[in-house]
Structure 1
Amino acid sequence: MNPHILKKPIITEKSIHLASTQNVYTFEVDKLANKQQIKQAVEELYEVKVTGVNTTTKNATLKKTGKRRLFKRIERVKRAMVVLKKGQTIDLFDTYKE
């Protein structure tokens, strides 16, 4: 398993709600990673059984910043929503519930 496939978990109000109600966990992943690699990485790192993986890519954008309002490029981001087997959880997301 490549340790750089999973970059970081996405901790937002929506992702915490999905984790607590539908057992779906969201991660930012490497741009070139495919669903099989993501599934294998989550299973090995968190020792859970993954039943499904959905991915989405947000394209790069330009954002105005600073006093002179210069454009700054925001990189392309790939996210993976991982569905776990019923009854299994990832402890990292449990600390943010409630």
Structure 2
Amino acid sequence: MNAADILIAPVVSEKSYAGLADRKYTFKVHQRAHKTQVRHAVEELFGVKVDSVNIVKVQAKPKRRGAFKGTRPGWKKAIVQLREGEKIEIFEGAQV
């Protein structure tokens, strides 16, 4: 997998934006990606140095609309902490 396949999208939520003060950025990542691949993808795509990576597997949730039952698919997210003095510019200009 190349770097663009590993990082799918940034996670936009209040909790993920609260982590920006601590240089923590949250991404939705490929199901088979592991910590080392995520680290290399972030460093390659954004040109920053990564301090640590935490991976969280978000479980599927049962949903229902009237008589129809189903499940929302599960996904994997990565919380990436950057080294001191590093930041990703695309997150900095966003308003919450």
Q: What is the TM-score with the length of structure 2 in the denominator?
A: 0.91
In structure 2, relative to structure 1, the CA distance for the partners of 1:85 and 1:97 (3 Å cut) is farther
Question: For structure 1, which runs of at least 5 residues remain unmatched after alignment?
Answer: none
2:15 is equivalent to residue 17 of structure 1: no
Deviations 1:67-88 (A, max 9, x none): x331122111100000001111
Instruction: State how many pairs are aligned.
Output: 95
CA distance in 2, matches of 1:69, 1:49: 50
In structure 2, relative to structure 1, the CA distance for the partners of 1:58 and 1:82 (3 Å cut) is same
Which residues in structure 2 correspond to 1:2-81 (within 5 Å)? 2=2, 3-19=4-20, 21-65=21-65, 68-81=66-79
Question: For structure 2, which runs of at least 5 residues remain unmatched after alignment?
Answer: none
Does the 8 Å contact 1:56/1:78 carry over to 2?
A: yes
Q: What is the TM-score with the length of structure 1 in the denominator?
A: 0.89
1:97 CA displacement: 4.8
Deviations 1:13-71 (A, max 9, x none): 1111111x210000000111000000000000000000100010012222002xx3311
Does the 8 Å contact 1:16/1:96 carry over to 2?
A: no
Q: What fraction of aligned residue pairs are identical, expressed as a percent?
A: 36
In structure 2, relative to structure 1, the CA distance for the partners of 1:27 and 1:86 (3 Å cut) is same
CA distance in 2, matches of 1:12, 1:86: 23
